[in-house]
Structure 1
Amino acid sequence: MSRLLTLLFGRLPIGWLQLSHNRGRLLAAVSGVAFANLLVFMQLGIMGALNGSTVAPYALLNTDIILSSQEGNTLTDSEHIARVHMFQALGVSGVANATPLYIGDLPFTLDDGTSVALLTFGVDATQTGFVTSAVAASLDRLTIENTVLLDEDTRGMPAPVLESLSSGASYSFEAMGETLTAIGTMKVGGGFLADGMLVTSDQTFLRVFPTRDSGAPDHILLRIDDGVSADTVATRLRAALPSASVRVQTTQDAKSADLAFMSSERPTGIIFGFGVFMGILVGLVIVYQVLSTDVADHLREYATFKAMGYGQSFFLGIVFEEAIVLAVFGFIPGFFVSMGLYAGLVAVTGLPVSMEASRAILVFLGTLAACTLSGGIATRRLASADPADLF
């Protein structure tokens, strides 16, 4: 390691030699940085799962513009919008087609007594253009009363049931006083609010949720003419529809708004964000304590260098070298332990927790920055000290 660092820095790696001289302190420092990395990785991973599950239902839709109530928050946390606005939107230039979307939470109990909650989409089974091709291929079969498509990644569902559905069999279950029959599957996955998803026709939806009114869907989905900008049509719709009650968003804008709401206004998003901050703070404190202690232990050596004419940049270089070593050595175990914990979370909860390359790079750069900042703070005492005072 010393030879490698000598080649890298072009000088004797004084910082590494000082750290490695006390193996116990080095191990404790690396463990502290790894723990801080682990905290940050886990908080970012869970926050990423929250964001992923928030926008996952959009994967079932094939729409350009979404009309929603101004009182709603997200796609799945919405208020009802008057269906009459769908006919008003069809009269706006650039709008090619429109359909209502009904959303509800459907709980039911499995044979073993466990409960499963399904986020349910009710769609017009004749409008195949508003859903993805995987769903559209089975949409005509949903015209049969009480037939549904079941999410094959539903958390808690018995594996044999999902395997039989994938092979073409059906599965019947009781929910909300109705007998529903799953005749196919689609793939979305569970999240923080539901264990999986269900797609059915709007007529079956209204039968399962008898308190819902066909004239008050949760959203209205719009498809626009080819070659027309969605933003342009959205601007026309905002001018034509009552802004006090109708929110007009392109699909991408709706996703971004949902993510912003979940991360900044929902308690879960705020808590995870605070957890990231605490992880960074822990890392700063640990590295600062290690480096400041190291500086104090070698004051005499630093005083000798300073008396010989070495400037503050030389001492900063040594401490920054130590900070980089701690950052690299602490990041590696923190990264691999986080990967193992991610896999455990996916197996236990079914949440979409995964290690993204951008996240790993961001945490590594953040670790380098935090360690470098701590190193800079730790050398403040040397900046104004007189060499004679250091002996």
Structure 2
Amino acid sequence: MRTPLAFLNLVHEKTRLGVAIAGVAFAVILVFMNLGFLGALSETAAAFYAQFNADLFLISPQALEITTATPFPIERIYQVAGVEGVEDVMPLYVNYIQWRNPETRENRAIFAFGINPDDPTFLLPELQSAQARNSLRRPNTVFFDRLSRPEYGPQETGTRTEADRRDVTIGGQYSLGGGFAADGTIIMSDQNFRRYFNPFPLDQISVGLIKLEEEVDADEARLAVMELLPEDVEVYTKEGIIARDRNYWINATSTGFIFGMGVAVALVVGVVIVYQILYTDISSHMKQYATLKAMGYRSGFLFYTVLQESVILAVLGFIPGFILSMILYQLTLTATSGTLPVVMTLTRFIFVFILTIFMCGISGLISVNKVIQADPAEVF
């Protein structure tokens, strides 16, 4: 039975092994957290659209994403209403408004949706009843997002406060989440939206929602609508506009760049740590390696031994790194009231494990050069 030389080399210095495992685990945690935030960034970009009862979306080409939507004439959705296969068209108004915490009296920007209560704009179950629609019709009444940050204050039905220095009453709640775009959201009727954002004219809408008949192909309908409308609006399917917003958040903002750079930095840190550990281990065992070479062991055997050490370090460091990352994911979900969906997926688990093996393997390849080039005569 072959002696597990690589494993015995690592456990010979337990303190050094502990430091190496901690270093790899630290790099694994950094990679998991940055990928988690990057994944949450991608998921929250789709959160709004997943709850819209629409198959096609009209939006101004000047809009970067939904929270920066630029108004365009409401006539555009009326033009679409006559297209074959279109079941319904609905206007949507969006903007930020200052919400006052009724307890602390501090103002904080919150993202507001304005809808016609008679339109089935959202798929949110809390908005489907006749009672909910009647509540939205009341003056100065809004529905409040349960996933909003606690800094906005009480969210119970009947709570009264101010929005943009006007009285406002919470008429109900729903669960949506604002993600990276907003710390909280509210939904109000189009008439209340006009009051709070006066002079915001209702003939200028932020997004046009188009509901298609069940058997109509969304891509074909999109082409038909595009031929009909002028260039002041763009037409997207639900998948298309989600991809558009994701591309903006990940590739066009510093947020996506920061998280992507965080993954790269974590890998560099891991490579450096593992290299230092392996290089130190090799240096302290140079006489033993030289003896093996003098006994006739080829460089390939020594190369394989060091590479084994790097893989063992990768596995031993990945396990605690993964466990701690799961704990941090849960803490993040709790701290953000569930608005950032930082969750572990099987794909991410496998990807980071492969990255860890690769990271430690690179360190092994760099450090093994010292063993291969060592001359037994010079060592002794």
Both proteins in one fold, TM over 0.5: yes
Shift of 1:171: 2.1
C-alpha distance in 1 between matches for 2:299 and 2:232:
63
Match status 1:196 vs 2:181: no
C-alpha distance in 1 between matches for 2:54 and 2:259:
31
User: Which residue number corresponds to residue 139 of structure 1?
Assistant: 133
Match status 1:13 vs 2:4: yes
One of 203, 211, 234 as aligned partner of 1:223: 211
Amino acid at match of 2:104: D
C-alpha distance in 2 between matches for 1:233 and 1:289:
60
- Contact 1:129–1:136 (8 Å) recurs in 2: no
Which is worse superposed, 170-179 or 256-265?
170-179
One of 288, 291, 300 as aligned partner of 2:278: 291
Shift of 1:140: 4.1
Gaps of 5+ in 1: 1-9
CA 1:212/1:129 → structure 2, altered by over 3 Å: closer, same or farther? closer
Structure 2 matches for 1:306-345, cutoff 5 A? 306-345=293-332
One of 62, 70, 83 as aligned partner of 1:92: 83
- Contact 1:14–1:318 (8 Å) recurs in 2: yes
What secondary structure sits across from 1:96 in the alignment? strand
C-alpha distance in 2 between matches for 1:230 and 1:390:
73
C-alpha distance in 1 between matches for 2:178 and 2:207:
21
**Cα offsets for 1:139-167 (capped at 9, x unmatched):** 343122222111112212578x44x43xx
Which is worse superposed, 345-354 or 363-372?
345-354
What is the TM-score of this pair, normalised by structure 2? 0.90
CA 1:49/1:11 → structure 2, altered by over 3 Å: closer, same or farther? same
**Cα offsets for 1:284-306 (capped at 9, x unmatched):** 11112222232333333333333
Identical amino acids, percent of aligned pairs: 35
Structure 2 matches for 1:249-264, cutoff 5 A? 249-264=236-251
- Contact 1:130–1:221 (8 Å) recurs in 2: no
Match status 1:273 vs 2:260: yes
Shift of 1:274: 1.0
**Cα offsets for 1:330-349 (capped at 9, x unmatched):** 12222233333333333434
Which is worse superposed, 15-24 or 314-323?
314-323
C-alpha distance in 1 between matches for 2:297 and 2:225:
69
C-alpha distance in 2 between matches for 1:193 and 1:261:
12
C-alpha distance in 2 between matches for 1:316 and 1:240:
67
One of 146, 150, 160 as aligned partner of 1:156: 150
Gaps of 5+ in 2: none
Shift of 1:48: 3.0
Match status 1:112 vs 2:107: no
Amino acid at match of 2:29: L
Shift of 1:130: 4.8
C-alpha distance in 1 between matches for 2:65 and 2:262:
24
Match status 1:212 vs 2:200: yes
- Contact 1:155–1:189 (8 Å) recurs in 2: no
Shift of 1:275: 1.2
**Cα offsets for 1:149-194 (capped at 9, x unmatched):** 11112212578x44x43xxxx2222112332222111002343342
C-alpha distance in 1 between matches for 2:178 and 2:244:
21
What secondary structure sits across from 1:76 in the alignment? helix
Shift of 1:31: 1.3
C-alpha distance in 1 between matches for 2:260 and 2:364:
25
Shift of 1:386: 5.3
CA 1:139/1:58 → structure 2, altered by over 3 Å: closer, same or farther? farther
**Cα offsets for 1:56-101 (capped at 9, x unmatched):** 2224312111110111111222212221211222233322211111
One of 98, 101, 109 as aligned partner of 2:92: 101
One of 171, 177, 180 as aligned partner of 2:159: 171
Amino acid at match of 2:359: A
CA 1:389/1:239 → structure 2, altered by over 3 Å: closer, same or farther? farther
**Cα offsets for 1:193-236 (capped at 9, x unmatched):** 42211111111111111132212111100111221111111122
CA 1:187/1:85 → structure 2, altered by over 3 Å: closer, same or farther? same
Aligned residues: 375
User: Which residue number corresponds to residue 7 of structure 1?
Assistant: none
Amino acid at match of 1:259: R
